[in-house]
Amino acid sequence: MRTAPGEHGYARPVEGLVVVVDLDAGEVVEVADHGVVALPPQPGNYEEPWIFEDGNVPAVPAYRDDVKPIEITQPEGPSFTVDGHAVTWQKWHLRIGFTPREGLVLHEVAYADRGTLRPVVYRASLAEMYVPYGDPAPTHRFKNVFDQGEYGVGWLANPLTLGCDCVGHIHYFDGVVNDNDGNPVTIPNAVCMHEEDAGIAWKHTDFRTGAVQVRRRRRLVVSTIVTVGNYEYGYFWYLYNDGTIEYEVKLTGVISTGAIAPGEVPAHGTLVAPGLYGPHHQHFFCVRLDMAVDGPRNTVVEVDSAPSPPGPDNPHGNAWQVHRTVLASEAGAQRDTDAARARYWKIESADRTSALGAPTAYALMPGGNVPPMYSPDALFAPRSGFTQHQLWVTAYDETQRFAAGDYPNQHPGGQGLPAYGAADRPLEGGDVVVWYTFGAHHVVRPEDWPVMPVSTVGFMLKPTGFFDGNPALDLPPAADHCHE
């Protein structure tokens, strides 16, 4: 309920009322009224400072006046070059793609190493995004949205704005999708690409001589931002000049809200304003990585660290070792993160070894993660089988593109990754696809209202024996400072 034009659309939810509509017939089929709850009294506006006629205190009484300008300039232009959708930046080579369902896609990501272009990832894309809510109330229990499989994040991409969404010397890519009648629609500036300073790349001070060496780190940023109802999601790929690849999701926008009677405390959410609460919920993202580390034949290895047993080989009790487990087939390649073992996964070349004799590899380094909080018996659990494990590895199949299956809102369950992995195809030394699922756990805070500060979640792909040494050793020192 909006009491004035432009008022916050989630500040005064009509609680307890559920309406079923036949969209084909254009008719109301059922109205379920679970009882009247008073509308929350505050408007929750956040767009600009203003005072309301009804005397409500505005969320933004005035803009802060102590923010000085920061100018980001590149007087010689950017370090990247663009030819159509092909991009070269320092030693990185890749192609930028875009689809209606997946949104931003990276293709043929490779790194030029001493004159040789070495492939790392053939195709990288978001394979599903799923948001289940943990509130059993009638108006919230059905919220379990497959935002990609049911809607498509490409269709929902924002036209990005220089100076707001992206800062610096920007190159934009349009997104071309179709409308509901199949006609082509262009989303201008759907993808933003620029480069950023990312702090120090490496540094050492020789305390014996006082000699100091330091180099600045830089990254290429390729991003898109989508609006899915109340939430905004920013999908960011970062390519660093030390060979690291990072994927980061930035969550912002507006929480889904519910009204509650004055004086009551929500059992499955957090009070964010008088009479207004945000239900507990989670966000799950699954990224599909069609790997090609030094070629199409790869092997995935799980790497765990564990204390060594006490004995003659560990007399002081300080030793620990690294243990490798080859994920040889799909049935054994459904794995979970384990912080107690510092678990990560290596994608190793089956054909190339480093100067030290080990297979060249990239490591998938998990970031923050969380398992599903809903019961396996939940009504929607069979459709979200890809969240059962954080890592899945499958043999390449061009028809297997989406973690929850092609049509997650129509199948009864079991489709997608559970079905792909059930074939138990061999993986070792093959053309493998790595699927990584990571969850953002959202116990809502009052600070998330009326618009949510950005929260981030993601992972990294780091070279691990891919290079013979530090690939950023050749970064030049800053020309105008740091060194004489």
Partners of 220 in the β-ladder: 195, 239
Alpha carbons 31 and 23: distance in angstroms, whole number: 15
User: In angstroms, how far apart are the furthest CA atoms of the chain?
Assistant: 82
DSSP 377-426: TSTTGGGGGGGG-SEEEEE--TT---TT-S-TTTS-S--SHHHHHHT--B
User: 461 in the Ramachandran plot: left (φ > 0), alpha (ψ -120 to 50) or beta?
Assistant: beta
Per the annotation, the verdict on 231 as an active-site residue is yes
Alpha carbons 185 and 171: distance in angstroms, whole number: 20
Residue tagged active-site, from 147, 242, 294, 448:
147
| Structural domains of the chain sorted by starting position, each given as residue range(s) with its CATH number in brackets | 1-68 (3.10.450.40), 79-463 (2.70.98.20)
pLDDT in tens, the chain (484 residues): 988 888 899 999 999 999 999 999 999 999 999 999 999 998 888 876 555 555 555 556 678 889 999 888 899 999 999 999 999 999 999 999 999 999 999 999 999 999 999 999 999 999 999 999 999 999 999 999 999 999 999 999 999 987 789 988 999 999 999 988 999 999 999 999 999 999 999 999 999 999 999 999 999 999 999 999 999 999 999 999 999 999 999 999 999 999 999 999 999 999 999 999 999 999 999 999 999 999 999 999 999 999 999 999 999 999 999 999 999 999 999 999 999 999 999 999 999 999 999 999 999 999 999 999 999 999 889 999 999 999 999 999 999 999 999 999 888 889 999 999 999 999 999 999 999 999 999 999 999 999 999 999 999 999 999 999 999 999 999 876 555 4
- Asked if 386 and 421 count as a contact pair (C-beta separation under 8 A), the reply is no
Residue tagged active-site, from 111, 130, 151, 231:
231
3-state secondary structure of 253: strand
Q: 192 to each of 44, 98, 101, 189, 222, how far by Cα in Å?
A: 31, 12, 18, 7, 6
Per the annotation, the verdict on 233 as an active-site residue is no
Sheet of strand 269-273: strand arrangement: 258-259, 276-279, 269-273
